[in-house]
Each structure stands twice: as structure tokens, then as C-alpha cells.
């Protein structure tokens, strides 16, 4: 196994209640896992399961109540972390949030993308290069002089992603970044995420409620009630239909269909996630050739 | 009978400025009384603008908004009536909760309508029942609740006005599968009990397929198509080109047809697909035995 980029060791997190110093019941309970460099991991879980808390711990928006977190071998829960160290972690691990309208700061697309590297004190010529390259990567070069608020939701999210890429991160956490988009916007963002992972080697953590999106990851982690309850390849995870339903999640529609047919005694395989292959197998069963 | 009808609606934002932007270009659409109607369209297709026309939040540049047979702009001073009779639930309505208790928050609308205390109480409890909120939750502050519960409180607040037409903009956005089922279950209970008309704006083809009787598709400020789910989802290519799509299961049925399996063309829910394939496979099993 390659060096883990993210490593959680017995991490718990409790939010503070209304009264200072009084902690609410933990939202993450003694969680341990490792995420390999360059992997594409989907995180599933119902509302309130602790998914977003997990994301915020990774780039130090939150600090764990208990346990240790290592990023690329460095203990970020170490009390000797300086402010500069924290900024460095946040540069290396970018975050893209749910609402595209809340993440854009400038009135021109290329200025928005330049915002991150400018704050890092990058040379102007280097900023120019990074902005052009980032917009190219998300397929938005032709819009560089446009105003962000005239773009569609999917385009805005891609600009937000470009702004992160321009800081040259090694990992990007997408916290339900496709939730507010129309089907085309979702497809655009998912294709961009996949490309960043496969072609640029960026480690991706994709938090989502959409099972079809999770199917595209290398690994799926399911969180329930503050603990990791299922962890495996999409094929392994989505074959546990009953277990997923128990924690309030769904499976893709085709998986549900094949699972129900299988339960009626028909010879189909609900663990196959590729739609084309499922159609091939079902057609063969029905037509007998 | 149409509960709500929009005729030749035109609307342009920031007219006569460099930012002029035409959102609706002669939209005509009718929503039949007592049905659940879906409104779908890509970002910027004009859905939200159209929704704000329905209860007079925006006034069309041209065209008519007919609520129960009467143009709501005939008497502009009475436009407030339209706001009670056509209830709008915006996206992420839980951010609009403000009262000390859930009960007071739900009662805010009916109170503004000038109803008496008994009637307000009846409506608050009945709305809470529709969305499945327990009585003990009603006395809590909305800010103590989970996201899904808050969303249901906000929805109950509009239902308590018992609008003839209930319009919901992305009611299940950001919710997990159980939260979605609860919200849509509540909408369905309201619709079935009251027999009122519901309009749901959504980006999820799976959800509209499951819960809506009719669909209207908007594209660049115009009506691209409207009809039953079966009629609309028959145009997969056109929908995909318009930034939308069809439910995964409908696409899968097409893949089967392309492979020579004779499945019906009007399938857009998993249950319908299951019944259809079961029928075919059982027939085959029966045939083999004979």
C-alpha cells in the first residue's frame, strides 16, 4: 500500500453547546481510517451522520476533541503547529462547498480564480500562468473575462474548483458540491472531478447523497452515527443493499431493480454496477442468447 | 378545471439597462386542479422567475396569471390574497424560521390571515400531522432541530395557510434519501387530504417521476414540452440536450430495448420496471415449463 495522504487515528469530535465549555454528544466517535495518495473516495451518510464534520477536520476548519490526524505523515493535531503550518495544510487540501453562489468573490472569472494564489503571495506572472492552466483544466477558458453571476450553477462550481486548483493542492474535498446543480451541471462537475483525479493525480474526497456519483469512485466510505459502518469498493458497498437501507441510504436505481429481481429467484447479479453490462446480462437472460 | 393558469407571460430583468436579461418569453402553462405538477428546467431556464409570477411576487411585463379563473392583477391592491391562496415554499426554507417555538412559527401565516385562535390551532396541528412532526417538537425552538426537521417545520408553515395551490422550489434539495421520502410523503398527504394543487420545482428526474402526475419542461425561458411523465420522458435526447435527462431506470429500459428486449416505453420508476421485467421473465419461465 502506498503512503497514506490522510490518516485518522481514533478521532472524536464534539461541538460545543450554548454554554461555554459544555460539549454536546460527539458527532464523530473514535474514527480511524487512511486515505491513499491519488485515490478517489466517496463519502456517504445521512444528514447529521458526521460527514461534513469529517471534511472540516481534514483541512483544519475544526480541531478534533480527541485523537490524531496526519496529513502526508505530518501530525496536524500536534500543538506545535504554527499558523503558517495551518495555512500550508489549507493550501494543500482545498475545499469546494455546496452553494456555488457563496464561493465566488470577484466580478470577473479570472480574477476570482486568481484570488487564492494572490493571497499566497505568488508572483504575478506565475499567477497568470496558473489561472490560465486552471481554467483550461475545468474547461472554462472561454469564460475568463465573463462575470461569474451570469454563469450556470455547474459553470460556477467549475470556477470555484479552478480557484482551488490555482493554489496547486494535492487533495480536494468536495462537500456536496453537486447537490444544488441541474443534471448537466452535475455531469460537468463530476467529469471535472474525475479528470482531476485521473489525470492530475489529485486525491479526491467526494461527499454526496447521490449514489450514481459514488459509483464512480475507487472506494466508498459510509458513515452512520459518527462511525464508519461500511468501507470498500463501490461494488462491495452497493452489494450490501439491506445494510445501506438500514442506515438510511439508497442504492442506484438499476441495482435496486436487479436486487429485487434476484430476490424473486431470477438469475441476475445486482453487484454489477455498469449499466451497459447489466443490460447485456438481462437481455441475455430474457432472449436466451 | 385549471387551478392556476399562466398565459403568454413575458418578463425581462433590469429592463433598459446594459444588464437586461429576458427570463420568460411568452410562457403559457396550465396546472390542473388537484394534481401534482412537476416543473423542470436547466439553471437559468426561468423556473424561479415563473414561480414568483404565480402568487404575484413578480408582475409580468405582459400576459396573465389566472388563479381559479381570475387574473390576480385585475385588482392590484388585493394582490395579498394571491399570496395566501398560492403558497410558495422557497429553496432551503429552513433559513426563514424565526419564531421561539415551532408552533408559533407554523402559526405565523394563518395568524396573518386574520383567523381566530381555534382555527389557527386546528391548522397548526393538521399541518404538523401532514409533515409528520410530533407534538412535543412543536414546543421546541426551531433552532434545536435537525436540518430535515427544520425543513418540515418551514413546509408546515405554508401548508397551515391551506393554499389552493402549493408551490415548492426544490423541496428535497440537500436531504438524504430518508429526508426526501419524508418531505415528499408530507406533500403527498397534504395533496390527497385537501385535494389541492401542488407544483414542484426539481432538478431530480427520479423524484419528479416518482411524485408528479404531469411535467412542464422549461428551456431558455420557453415551454419546451408539457404532458404526463410518460409523454415528457419519451424525449430523452431532447431533455439531455436541454441540460436535463431521464431517470436512470428509464435510460436502462432504453438500453434493454436496444438489445431487442420488448419492454414498454413508459417506464420511469423502479417499481414499474420491476413489474414489467417480472411479467416478461415469469412468462418466459412459464413458457419453458410448458
Question: Mind listing the pLDDT tens digit for each residue in A227-266?
Answer: 999 999 999 999 999 999 999 898 999 999 999 999 999 9
Name the E strands within chain B.
2-13, 21-32, 36-41, 62-67, 70-71, 86-89, 165-169, 197-201, 214-219, 222-228
| pLDDT value of residue A101 | 84
Nearest by Cα to B267 from B236, B237, B223: B236
Mark whether B225 and B256 lie in a shared domain.
Answer: no
Judged against a pLDDT cut of 70, whether residue B261 lies above it is answered with yes
Question: How close does chain B come to A78, measured CA to CA in Å?
Answer: 33
Q: For all residues of chain A together, what is the average pLDDT?
A: 92
| Beta carbons within 10 angstroms of residue B217's beta carbon | 22
| pLDDT value of residue B62 | 97
CB atoms B243 and A250 under 8 Å? no
More confident residue, B92 or B165: B165
Please report whether residue B239 resides in a domain. Answer: no
| pLDDT value of residue B289 | 47
What is the total count of domains within chain B?
2
Question: How close does chain A come to B251, measured CA to CA in Å?
Answer: 9
Tens-digit pLDDT profile for residues B26-46: 999 999 999 999 999 998 899
Mark whether B170 and B251 lie in a shared domain.
Answer: no
Mark whether B208 and B275 lie in a shared domain.
Answer: no
| pLDDT value of residue B221 | 96
Mark whether B225 and B274 lie in a shared domain.
Answer: no
Instruction: Kindly list the residues from chain A whose CB atom is less than 8 angstroms away from the CB atom of residue B43.
Output: 152-154, 181-182, 185
Name the residue range of residue B132's domain.
Answer: 2-229
Please report whether residue B242 resides in a domain. Answer: no
Nearest by Cα to A222 from A211, A30, A212, A63: A211
Mark whether B197 and B127 lie in a shared domain.
Answer: yes
Please report whether residue B234 resides in a domain. Answer: no
Residue B278 in contact with partner chain A when CB distance is under 8 A: yes
CB neighbour list of residue B288: distance below 8 Å, 6 or more residues apart: none
DSSP secondary structure, B20-36, as one string: -EEEEEEEEEEEETT-E
CB A214 within 8 A of CB A234: yes
Question: Which chain A residue's Cα is nearest to B92?
Answer: A180
SS (H, E, C) A255-284: HHHHHHHHHCCCCCCCCCCCHHHHHHHHHH
Question: Which residues of chain B from 47 to 106 reach within 8 Å of chain A, CB to CB?
Answer: none
Tens-digit pLDDT profile for residues A46-104: 888 888 899 999 989 999 999 999 999 999 999 889 999 999 999 999 999 988 888 88
Please report whether residue B218 resides in a domain. Answer: yes
Mark whether B225 and B253 lie in a shared domain.
Answer: no
Question: Which chain B residue's Cα is nearest to A179?
Answer: B174
Judged against a pLDDT cut of 70, whether residue A2 lies above it is answered with no
Mean pLDDT of B271-281: 95
CB atoms A47 and B146 under 8 Å? yes
Judged against a pLDDT cut of 90, whether residue A28 lies above it is answered with yes
Mark whether B180 and B280 lie in a shared domain.
Answer: no
Mean pLDDT of B206-227: 96
Judged against a pLDDT cut of 60, whether residue A1 lies above it is answered with no
Question: How close does chain A come to B175, measured CA to CA in Å?
Answer: 7
Tell me how far apart the alpha carbons of residues B91 and B81 are, in angstroms, rounded to a whole number.
22
Tell me how far apart the alpha carbons of residues B272 and B283 are, in angstroms, rounded to a whole number.
17
Question: Which chain B residue's Cα is nearest to A264?
Answer: B278
Mean pLDDT of B8-21: 90
CB atoms B206 and A260 under 8 Å? no
Distances (CA, A) of A231 to A214, A243, B245: 12, 12, 31
| pLDDT value of residue A289 | 65
Mark whether B157 and B279 lie in a shared domain.
Answer: no
Whose cell is 446543480? That residue is A181
Judged against a pLDDT cut of 50, whether residue B65 lies above it is answered with yes
Mark whether B22 and B165 lie in a shared domain.
Answer: yes
Question: How close does chain B come to A279, measured CA to CA in Å?
Answer: 6
| pLDDT value of residue B287 | 58
CB A62 within 8 A of CB A53: yes
Tens-digit pLDDT profile for residues B220-250: 999 999 999 999 999 999 999 999 999 999 9
Please report whether residue B289 resides in a domain. Answer: yes
Mark whether B57 and B15 lie in a shared domain.
Answer: yes
Least confident piece of the model among A110-114, B148-152, B214-218? B148-152
- May I ask the CATH architecture of the domain A4-251? 3-Layer(aba) Sandwich (3.40)
Please report whether residue B240 resides in a domain. Answer: no
CB B182 within 8 A of CB B21: no
Q: Choose from B277, B278, B284, B287 for mutation: most chain A CBs within 10 A.
A: B277
Least confident piece of the model among A120-134, A254-268, B208-222, B272-286? B272-286
CB atoms A209 and B176 under 8 Å? yes
Distances (CA, A) of B59 to A43, A265, B11, B17, B169: 44, 58, 8, 18, 19
Q: What is the CATH number of the domain that holds B55?
A: 3.40.50.300
Tell me how far apart the alpha carbons of residues B7 and A110 are, in angstroms, rounded to a whole number.
41
| pLDDT value of residue B144 | 84
Mark whether B160 and B267 lie in a shared domain.
Answer: no
Tell me how far apart the alpha carbons of residues B1 and B93 are, in angstroms, rounded to a whole number.
30
Judged against a pLDDT cut of 90, whether residue A151 lies above it is answered with no
Sorting pLDDT into bands at 50, 70 and 90, what band is B290?
A: very low
Mark whether B191 and B269 lie in a shared domain.
Answer: no
Percent of the residues in chain A that have a pLDDT greater than 90, as a whole number: 78
| Beta carbons within 10 angstroms of residue A20's beta carbon | 6
Judged against a pLDDT cut of 50, whether residue A165 lies above it is answered with yes
Question: How close does chain A come to B170, measured CA to CA in Å?
Answer: 9
Tell me how far apart the alpha carbons of residues A50 and A221 are, in angstroms, rounded to a whole number.
12
Mean pLDDT of B32-61: 94
Amino acid at each position: 500500500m502506498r503512503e497514506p495522504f490522510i490518516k485518522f487515528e481514533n478521532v472524536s469530535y464534539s461541538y460545543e453547546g450554548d454554554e461555554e465549555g459544555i460539549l454536546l454528544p460527539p458527532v464523530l466517535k473514535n474514527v480511524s481510517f487512511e486515505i491513499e495518495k491519488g485515490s478517489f473516495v466517496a463519502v456517504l451518510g445521512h444528514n447529521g451522520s458526521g460527514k461534513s464534520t469529517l471534511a472540516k477536520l481534514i483541512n483544519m476548519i475544526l480541531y478534533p476533541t480527541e485523537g490524531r490526524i496526519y496529513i502526508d505523515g505530518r501530525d496536524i493535531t500536534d500543538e506545535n503547529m504554527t499558523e503558517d503550518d495551518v495555512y500550508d495544510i489549507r493550501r494543500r487540501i482545498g475545499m469546494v462547498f455546496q452553494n456555488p453562489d457563496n464561493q465566488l468573490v470577484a466580478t470577473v472569472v479570472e480574477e476570482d480564480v486568481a484570488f487564492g494564489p494572490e493571497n499566497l503571495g505568488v508572483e504575478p506572472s506565475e499567477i497568470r500562468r496558473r489561472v490560465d492552466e486552471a481554467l483550461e483544466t475545468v474547461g472554462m477558458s472561454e469564460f475568463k473575462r465573463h462575470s461569474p453571476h451570469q454563469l450556470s450553477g455547474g459553470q460556477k462550481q467549475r470556477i470555484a474548483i479552478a480557484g482551488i486548483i490555482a493554489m496547486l493542492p494535492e487533495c480536494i474535498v468536495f462537500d456536496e458540491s453537486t447537490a444544488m446543480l441541474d443534471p448537466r451541471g452535475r455531469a460537468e462537475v463530476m467529469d471535472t472531478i474525475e479528470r482531476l483525479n485521473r489525470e492530475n493525480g489529485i486525491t479526491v474526497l467526494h461527499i454526496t447523497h447521490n449514489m450514481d456519483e459514488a459509483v464512480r469512485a475507487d472506494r466508498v466510505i459510509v458513515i452512520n452515527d459518527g462511525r464508519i459502518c461500511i468501507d470498500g469498493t463501490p461494488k462491495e458497498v452497493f452489494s450490501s443493499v439491506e445494510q445501506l437501507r438500514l442506515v438510511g441510504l439508497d442504492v442506484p436505481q438499476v441495482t435496486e431493480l436487479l436486487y429485487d429481481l434476484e430476490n424473486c429467484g431470477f438469475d441476475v447479479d445486482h453487484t454489477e454496477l455498469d449499466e451497459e453490462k447489466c443490460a447485456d446480462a438481462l437481455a441475455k437472460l430474457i432472449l436466451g442468447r | 378545471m385549471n387551478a392556476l393558469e399562466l398565459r403568454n407571460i413575458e418578463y425581462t430583468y433590469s429592463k433598459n439597462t446594459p444588464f437586461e436579461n429576458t427570463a420568460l418569453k411568452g410562457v403559457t402553462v396550465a396546472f390542473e386542479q388537484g394534481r401534482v405538477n412537476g416543473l423542470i428546467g436547466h439553471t437559468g431556464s426561468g423556473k424561479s422567475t415563473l414561480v414568483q409570477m404565480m402568487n404575484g411576487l413578480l408582475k409580468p411585463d405582459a400576459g396573465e396569471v389566472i388563479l381559479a379563473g381570475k387574473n390576480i392583477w385585475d385588482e392590484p391592491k388585493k394582490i395579498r390574497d394571491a399570496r395566501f391562496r398560492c403558497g410558495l415554499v422557497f429553496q432551503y426554507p429552513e433559513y426563514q424560521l424565526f419564531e421561539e417555538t415551532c408552533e408559533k412559527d407554523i402559526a405565523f401565516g394563518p395568524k396573518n390571515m386574520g383567523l381566530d385562535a381555534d382555527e389557527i390551532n386546528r391548522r397548526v396541528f393538521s399541518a404538523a400531522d401532514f409533515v409528520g412532526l410530533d407534538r412535543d417538537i412543536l414546543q421546541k425552538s426551531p433552532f434545536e432541530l435537525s436540518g430535515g426537521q427544520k425543513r418540515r417545520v418551514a413546509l408546515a408553515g405554508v401548508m397551515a395557510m391551506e393554499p389552493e395551490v402549493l408551490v415548492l422550489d426544490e423541496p428535497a434539495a440537500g436531504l438524504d434519501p430518508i429526508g426526501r421520502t419524508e418531505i415528499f410523503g408530507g406533500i403527498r398527504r397534504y395533496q390527497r387530504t385537501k385535494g389541492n394543487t401542488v407544483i414542484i420545482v426539481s432538478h431530480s428526474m427520479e423524484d419528479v417521476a416518482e411524485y408528479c402526475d404531469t411535467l412542464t419542461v422549461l428551456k431558455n425561458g420557453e415551454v419546451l414540452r408539457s404532458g404526463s411523465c410518460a409523454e415528457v420522458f419519451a424525449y430523452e435526447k431532447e431533455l439531455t440536450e436541454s441540460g436535463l435527462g431521464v431517470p436512470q431506470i428509464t435510460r436502462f429500459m432504453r438500453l434493454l430495448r436496444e438489445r431487442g428486449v420488448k419492454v414498454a416505453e413508459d417506464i420511469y420508476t423502479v417499481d414499474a420496471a420491476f413489474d414489467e421485467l417480472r411479467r416478461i421473465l415469469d412468462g418466459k419461465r412459464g413458457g419453458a415449463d410448458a
